[in-house]
Structure 1
Amino acid sequence: MTSKQPAESLYLQMKQDIRDSKLPTKCSLKQEQLSKQYGVSRIPIRDVLQRLKNEGWLKQTGKRGVMVNPLNATEAEDLYQMRMYLEPLLLGHAVQRISHQILGQATDILEQLEHPSLDLESLGDLNWQFHACLYQAAERPTLFNNVKNLHQLCSRYIGFQTSELDYQDNSHQEHYQLLNAIRGKQVEHAKALLKQHISKAGEVLVSYLEAQPSL
């Protein structure tokens, strides 16, 4: 087994444990303790903690410590508002460049999303693949990379929304509506649908988090 394999497995397991509230949210996570808990050396623990911190799952506490980043209504609102404006902008550059091949690829991804046994990690990955295959057609790498970073920071919120708020069916229908607008080269309509898609999900999530301050 290569050194990358246990690190990736550890990364996925720790993300799942954060989702399942198996890691504490109000105290610092110690590398030595986590090393014993997961049965690995401190090197992959250190690397995974840094990766999870970069993706918004953990936050800095003290000089060297990290802790689980609690779900936060203000942070969720900031992330979704940024997405609301950047993603339609990027899509607007992409629509006229989106080929039948790209539309086919996007449709294939949506069909994969319909599989009933997908876990939250796979749902999140496929959701990003759907958006990414459309946005890459814009050939705007700076804008694309900023949107990609926002999706990484949103990934925990998207997973929570899918599991706790049962939003997957609504999101899936909106994806198909978006594809139909793109297929018809309806640039402004596609941008409006995407903005609405992001804002509706964001408003539902923020409202829920505001009513659940302990999360």
Structure 2
Amino acid sequence: MEQAELARDGVREAVADIEPPRLAERIDAILAGASMAPGALVCLLAQRTDPEADREAVAERAAGVQLIYEGLRLTRRLAQEEPWADSEEHTAANLDVLAADILVSRGFYLLATTEAAATAVETIRAFGRDQTHRREPDADREALDSSLERDVIALAGVAGESATDGSLPDTLGGTVERLAARAGRPLADAEELFSGTALMGTDGQAKASATDT
């Protein structure tokens, strides 16, 4: 879908200057197969509030949300798999740790001066708390892990809705909350996740205009 491609373009631009080449290649590989649902949601909501919204500015916000998600998702995997425990070769794992840190920090940098900054901070903090609680003997690990996807969808909602001076149509009331509730781990592709919501038309195409019904 167009909005997912716009988000992916924003992500590519945001990490284009990463060096050295081996780290850049690893980050590209992480992002290559990623669901662009968080970034696409930012773009869709921004376009629904203002169909003439600046594409570059919207793509930058979308990239911020997407990079935070990918960095935290990678951190979650590393924390659970503990690749250092099963091998004396730590280069790949160390590279992933560095990649995760860069993705989160670059994503937050893109959102730092936006209305979504506070929500981004809380998303990162909540992830840290949840992963700490996950180590407790009686922890509901599945619920704690899945909270990342819910929180990132909520972050995308804030970033998208605040991207312009417009307002969302009434038909979208509660849509972000429902998307967060249905978000699985890992996130489905944007079209699959948005299917059956007010974001998509009966033809299966995303509604990008506030006047679409």
**TM class by smaller structure:** 0.3 to 0.5
With the length of structure 1 as denominator, give the TM-score of the two structures. 0.35
Q: Which has the higher contact order (CA 8 A, sep 6+)?
A: 2
Whose helix proportion is higher, 1 or 2?
A: 1
Query: Computing the radius of gyration over CA atoms, which structure comes out larger, 1 or 2?
Result: 1
